[in-house]
Structures are given as C-alpha cells and as structure tokens.
Amino acid sequence: MWSAYLSAVGPVLRALPLLRLRADSRYTVADYIEAQVAKHADLPFILFEDRRITYREYNAMANRVAHWGLSVGLEAGDTIGFMMTNRAEYVPVWSGLAKIGVKAALINTNLVGSSVIHALEVAGADRLLLGAECVPNVADMADDALSNLTVYVLPEKGADAPGFPGAQDIGEALAGQPDSDPDPALRASVRTGDSAFYIYTSGTTGLPKATNFNHQKLTVGGVSGAMLGLRKGEVVYCPLPLYHGAGGIGAVMIAMGSGGAVAVARKFSASRFWDDVRRYDATGVIYIGELCRFLLNRPPDPKDGEHNLRWMFGIGLRADVWEPFQERFRIPRIVEAYGATEANVGGVNFAGKVGSVGKIRGGLLLRYDVERDELVRDAGGRYVECRAGEVGELLGRIPVGSKSMLRQFQGYTSAEATEKKILRDVKKPGDAWFRSGDLLRKDEQGYYYFVDRIGDTFRWKGENVSTQEVAEALSAFSGVETANVYGVEVPGHEGRAGMVALALEGGRNAPFDLRAFYELAVSTLPSYAAPVFVRLQSESDVTGTFKLRKVSLRDEGFDPGATDDPIYVRDDAARTYVRLHDTADAEVR
C-alpha cells in the first residue's frame, strides 16, 4: 500500500519547488532543460526515424541554435515565428531560443500565405524561421507581405532544400556555432511568469489566437511522466504535431521530466502507428480522441495488441470508442484528461472511469441557455450553478491580486481576446473567472464529462442537440470513418436542423446503405436529434490535430450547389435519406 501511495504522491512532492515559483522568479525552462541534461546526459531523449539523440546531443543542438540567434541579433524578449514539421530539430530549436530568452511562436504547418502573416502579426514577430519543407507554405505570398519580414530556412539533413528568394539558409551557420551552454545572464531579464513560447488556438471557429504559455506551466508538465509511471530510459510515442500542446508540450515534457525519450513520428499514420509503437518499444502514447477512432476503424490485424504499452494519455476520447479500442488493442490503462492550452482549469482521469475527464478542482459549472446563447441567471440576476447531471459551461476561478501562477489565466497576445474569456462578478463582486467555452456535466461522484463546445450544440424542435452525442451514435454505422455533426439554418424554421458530414472508409463513392443508416439514426437518437441532412465527403476535414472543422460546412449548409459532395435529406415517410439536387427539394419537418 505504501509503495502505491509513494508512487502517486512522490512526483507531486518533487514538483513542489516548481509549483511554488512566483511569477517574478528567474527560473525558466532553459534552467530546467540544463538540469535534466545534467542528470540524464547519455540517455536517449529524441528518437526520430533512424536517429537516436541523447540528452547531451540534444542540448548541444539547442546551444548551437542559441548562439546562432545571438549572431543574428536576437535577444531576450524577442519573438520569432517558427514553422517546421515534426523532425529531430524541432524541440532543439525552441529550446535553444529559450536559452537566450527568445520566444518561438509555434505556427501550424497547415497554414499558408496570409494565414501565416496573421499568425506572425498576432505574436508580434517580424522574423520567421522555416523548416525547408515549409517553404511552399509561404512561397506564393506577395512581395509586399514579405517586405518587413526576415526569413531563415533550416534544411533537413539529406533532404533537398527548395529555394526561397531573400531567405537565409542557416544550415551551415548553425553547424559552425559553439555547442556550449550560453551564459544564463543573457536571459536574466526573463521571469518564470513570462511566456516561454506561443501556441496557437486551433482556428476551428475563427482565426487562430496566439496563447501565452509561461515557463512554470511548461516545466511543471514534466511531473506528468512520473505520475503516469514512466521510468528513466522508457519511451513515449508522439504521433501528434509538435506545434500543438498535446504533442509539443505533453509528450516532450512527460519524457524529459522522467529521463525518458520521446519518439516523434513525422506525421500520424493509422497504417504505421502500431509498427512504430513496436519499433520504438514505447511504454506510453500521447493521443487525440479522433486518432483512436481512425485506428479502431482499420481492419483487424493478427498483431493487434502486440506491444509493450502500459498507458495512453490524451484528450477527446469518446465513450463509444473507449472500451472497444481498449479491448481490441489491449491497452492496460487509458488516462483521459481535459484542458486547453490557455485554460486555468482542467482534470485528469487516473481512475479509468470510461467517458470521464476526471474530477476537476476549482471549477464551476453554470447553467447555459443554448437557444439564447448565454449563461442563465435567476430572478435576482445571479448565475445559476448546475446540479449533478445538468449540463453547463465550465469556468475556472482566476485568483485576483495573487503573484502565484497557479490557476492564473495568462491569456492571449491580444488584450481584447483575453478579456472576452473572462467573466466577472460571478459569485461575489470583484471576482474573475476563465470561461472555457465548453459544456460539461458532473455526476453524483464528482466526475466530469465533456459534452460539447458552445456553438457546436444547437437547438432544434425546441430541444438542445449535442453534436458530440449525435456523432458518437452515428459513428457506430459500418464504414463510417468520421461523423462531423453541426446545425444549419433552414428558412422558415426556428433553430438549426441537424446535419452530418460523413467521411466513409472508401471515400464518398463507397457503397453506403442510406436506408440502414436512417434506421440507425432514428432508433438510437431522439427524433429531434436524428440528422435532417447527410453529406458524404471524400475525406475527413480536420485540423492538424484531428479536430473536425465545422465553420465552412455550416456556411455551405445543405445547398448542393455549394459542393461536389452528394447531399441527402431525411424522408420519414420512405424511412430513408433521399438525394437533394436543389434546396427547393428539401422538405424539412
């Protein structure tokens, strides 16, 4: 009993000095990196394809980046845009910049043209460091967009580097830099509460915002590995992009905090996933929920379950996927979490309670009126807390006037965007709360369950429809790879009618039994929640972190003229879905 207790409590006790750091302390992630390198110098840290990079070698790579940064005039407090696909140099680059107090803005590698310029502008960066593989993302930008921008390109060893007019190839310059630790005095002006780097919101509902991510929040991430049971020398497999929090922070810091290694996939591949897990002899995997669904939808393989994984840790695993996935692939432990890069509130389900994100301390659930798109108030104008089983928006209290960084909301680079996420005078005058924008519910035992994003839930026939719950039901239909559910406006009707964009395993021309799909929908969902419209897509429309995009789909609605995808409308009399050739054909009941 005592050994189990110590294994759970020990990592927290070791993290106490980091947890107690104040915003004005001088401890940074660079100090943390150098301390971990001193302890684990000759152990592997980054595994990428055929490369095996030790902590010592990683530190040397980072140091060369730091000295290069100094050579081109970068200094503490500066920001540089950083855009690179998953490869061995990714973590050393931002680490080296942090060693001289420079913030890297980790740009999504799916962005192109003006979207890249937007990402740089909101981060306040006038320099851009590109992996050579990302040159095509900006190659077609107009000259005037680049006129005030300094661009550096870092080729990958053994790969062709596309040319880019005016850009500086820094491959040789990096190779010639010293590999010694830079003088800590170079980052003396940086404080623990300052941003270590910027991570962007996904942009599923608008242009991405640059989120502050301070040094304490980054270093404390290292304790998670010990809490998951990762031991020195063991491997965490990361198939997620390193510009995203789950991969670039979760996987990297989990490994670093325990003296483990992070095995980085160039990109997620459902067909290669389990081969990689076996190849690297991974102990743990970092996941996003849709990743698990993609894997579950693959044909069974005799080698399913042949691995040495002890745990998988991540977010967004739906209840309908959880148990089938865990059973088929023989995963001993799934640890589902809830949180966001900018959030000051979150939870971790160490108990393995299916579908739950764990117990959330310091959170508050307030009733939310989906139809009015606002929080509910009582007759006295006070916000109404949810009872067990009720769905509401999750808020996290922001300590006012405290120099402690625990549960602070650091916000975005935009003060206006930051203020929009804060709700004031909730429980008493003068208090402040972070608005998550997420709908959750809590059971009698205090376990929380994610329901939907506000804006994704819609109202139809006087009832609230959760897109996630509908998607879970429809994804059970044979041949469905993803089910993207959203509400669309229908002239002459209040609210929004349900619509689902289905990506089929064989593409949109794969055989699809509309009558059988109708029967599944109406037999497993309330009549108001069964989709009115169905759209068959050629492939899933997802972000780089497997979040389903909805905005453009909502805008296109059920107009067959807006897409080449076939669109169908529910016909209850015929008990099937029928093809729409014109919006006038849609008879919505």
pLDDT tens for 272-308 read 999 999 999 999 999 988 889 889 989 999 999 999 9
* CATH fold of 55-218: Rossmann fold (3.40.50)
At 43, is the pLDDT very low, low, confident or very high (cuts 50, 70, 90)? very high
Instruction: Tell me the C-alpha distance between 567 and 559, whole Å.
Output: 8
Locus of tokens 């040319």: 163
Instruction: Tell me the C-alpha distance between 480 and 507, whole Å.
Output: 10
Q: Name the percent of the chain lying above pLDDT 90.
A: 56
Comparing 511 with 24, which gets the higher pLDDT? 511
Question: Across the chain, what does the average pLDDT equal?
Answer: 87
Instruction: Tell me the C-alpha distance between 176 and 550, whole Å.
Output: 47
Q: What is the CA radius of gyration of the chain?
A: 25
Output the pLDDT for position 452: 81
Listed by start position, the domains of the chain span: 55-218, 363-453, 458-585
pLDDT per position as a tens digit, 424-469? 999 999 899 999 989 999 999 999 999 887 877 787 876 778 888 8
Answer whether residue 525 shows pLDDT above 60: yes
At 7, is the pLDDT very low, low, confident or very high (cuts 50, 70, 90)? very low
Output the pLDDT for position 545: 63
Output the pLDDT for position 111: 82
Other Cβ atoms within 10 Å of 549 Cβ, number: 18
Answer whether residue 401 shows pLDDT above 70: no
Over range 126-146, report the average pLDDT: 83
Output the pLDDT for position 362: 83
Instruction: Tell me the C-alpha distance between 559 and 3, whole Å.
Output: 62
DSSP state of 246: I
CATH number of 363-453: 2.30.38.10
Instruction: Tell me the C-alpha distance between 84 and 134, whole Å.
Output: 6
Answer whether residue 3 shows pLDDT above 50: no
Instruction: Tell me the C-alpha distance between 439 and 395, whole Å.
Output: 10
Instruction: Tell me the C-alpha distance between 270 and 423, whole Å.
Output: 41
Strands (E), 88-217: 103-106, 127-131, 150-154, 168-169, 195-200, 210-214
Q: How far apart are the first and last CA of the chain?
A: 60
Answer whether residue 4 shows pLDDT above 50: no
Concatenating the DSSP letter of every residue in 307-330 gives S---EEEEE---HHHHHHHHHHHT
CATH number of 458-585: 3.30.300.30
Output the pLDDT for position 22: 79
Output the pLDDT for position 14: 61
Instruction: Tell me the C-alpha distance between 268 and 255, whole Å.
Output: 19
SS3 per-residue string spanning 384-400 = CECCCCCEEEEEEEECC
Lowest mean pLDDT among 247-251, 499-503, 543-547: 543-547
Question: What's the maximum distance between 2 C-alpha atoms anywhere in the chain?
Answer: 76
User: Burial of 365 by CB count in 10 Å (0-12 exposed, 13-18 middle, 19+ buried)?
Assistant: buried
Over range 68-79, report the average pLDDT: 96
Output the pLDDT for position 411: 81
Q: Name the percent of the chain lying above pLDDT 70.
A: 90
Assess contact for 357 and 325: CB atoms under 8 A: no
Answer whether residue 5 shows pLDDT above 50: no
Over range 222-236, report the average pLDDT: 90
pTM, two decimal places: 0.81
Answer whether residue 210 shows pLDDT above 80: yes
User: Burial of 492 by CB count in 10 Å (0-12 exposed, 13-18 middle, 19+ buried)?
Assistant: exposed
Over range 457-482, report the average pLDDT: 83
At 9, is the pLDDT very low, low, confident or very high (cuts 50, 70, 90)? low
Output the pLDDT for position 589: 63
Q: How many residues does the chain have?
A: 589
Helix axes 289-296, 319-329, angle to 10 degrees: 60
